[in-house]
């Protein structure tokens, strides 16, 4: 199994930034966090609840044997660039995850999350976010670069 990357996250403390007369300790805490955010070197700040949710989602996904196997072989967030042979247009895509299964096949993962997983809401989101356009770029990349 692949080892986890080092965790680069910051968790915000709970405090009320709207206090009319914050205590001296609260002011020092807010100043410290403001300075830390300015100097964090690209760390994305999330809450502990967000971190816990993400770790649970990752654990759930890795329980699916085929998905776990693909994740162990692949790469995340890698951009692909190519020239469309029919139009000469420069193209690019960036799937959430890709793995080249063999010399003529690839598995691309593009994860979507929704608060409402009903079929009707999924159809609305697909239309609103134009996932068919993304799909055509993924397909174009596979046809041009993975199995020409």
Q: Give Cα separations from 15 to 28, 38, 43 (angstroms).
A: 12, 19, 20
Answer yes or no: pTM beyond 0.85.
no
Q: Which tokens go with 102? A: 């063999």
**Domain extent listing, the chain:** 1-63, 65-148
Instruction: For residue 69, list its beta bridge partners.
Output: none
Phi, psi of 48 (to 5 degrees): -60, -35
- Give the whole-angstrom CA distance, residue 19 versus residue 14: 13
**Class of CATH domain 65-148:** alpha beta
Q: Which tens digit of pLDDT belongs to each residue from 42-69?
A: 677 788 888 899 899 889 988 999 888 8
Phi-psi region of 85 (alpha: psi -120 to 50; beta: other; left: phi over 0): alpha
Confidence band (pLDDT; 50, 70, 90) for 146? Answer: low
């Amino acid at each position: 199994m692949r080892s986890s990357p080092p965790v680069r996250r910051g968790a915000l403390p709970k405090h009320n930034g709207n206090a009319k007369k914050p205590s001296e300790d609260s002011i020092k805490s807010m100043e410290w966090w403001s300075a830390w955010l300015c100097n964090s070197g690209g760390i994305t700040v999330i809450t502990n609840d967000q971190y816990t949710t993400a770790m649970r989602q990752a654990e759930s996904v890795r329980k699916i044997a085929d998905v776990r196997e693909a994740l162990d072989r692949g790469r995340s967030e890698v951009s692909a660039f190519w020239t469309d042979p029919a139009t000469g247009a420069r193209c690019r895509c960036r799937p959430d995850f890709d793995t080249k299964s063999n010399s003529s096949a690839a598995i691309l993962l593009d994860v979507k999350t929704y608060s409402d997983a009903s079929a009707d809401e999924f159809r609305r989101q697909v239309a609103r976010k134009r996932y068919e356009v993304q799909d055509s770029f993924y397909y174009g990349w596979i046809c041009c670069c993975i199995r020409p």
